[in-house]
Amino acid sequence: MNTLHPFLMFAQQKAGSEGISQGNMILIVLAFVAVLIILVFLFVFFSFIRLWIQALLTKADIGMGTLIGMKLRNVDYAMIVRQKIALVQAGVKVTTQDLESHYLARGNVPKTATAVIAAHKAGLELPWKTAAAIDLAGRDILEAVRTSVNPKVI
């Protein structure tokens, strides 16, 4: 009675037969992990490449690492990049960290950026931090800039 259980037959090898050695198994596992890491890297890279190229071409100085960091901090990175590009093209100097911190403080980044650009074009000195503070105080910064440019006569 040399009858073996059917599952045990798969686990056994005949003496002298070739199979996957422990060294080969380690190489297969390492290759699988490497392919998985490369796929994750490519997914992350291609999800940010369009915004990164836009920032690069407009000299907005936003790196791939910054974009990934914003994603990890749950920041609307596409909006931050668009606003940074608009500010750079208008000639306003502001850091990406300032935009990001204003967003994280629940500020209205697009409205604040528009107000700073409008003030800059009107020749008014309105630093980003001042505009952000006014916005966070609950005031309509864009309306304040418009009133400064075109005073209302009562």
Lookup result for tokens 């750079």: 88
pLDDT digits (tens, 9 = 90+) for 46-104: 888 889 999 999 999 899 899 989 999 999 999 999 999 999 999 999 999 999 999 99
Q: Supply the pLDDT for residue 2.
A: 56
Q: Supply the pLDDT for residue 19.
A: 65
pTM (predicted TM-score): 0.70
**Are 41 and 70 in contact, with CB atoms under 8 Å apart?**
no
Closest by CA to 110, choosing from 98, 99, 97, is 99
pLDDT at residue 10 tops 60:
no
pLDDT at residue 17 tops 70:
no
Could you give the 3-state DSSP secondary structure of residue 74?
coil
**What sign for the dihedral angle of Cα 47, 50, 56, 61?**
negative
Tokens of residue 122, six digits:
């009107």
**Are 126 and 145 in contact, with CB atoms under 8 Å apart?**
yes
Phi, psi (deg, nearest 5) at residue 43: -65, -45
pLDDT at residue 14 tops 60:
no
**Are 76 and 104 in contact, with CB atoms under 8 Å apart?**
no
Query: Domain spans of the chain?
Result: 20-149
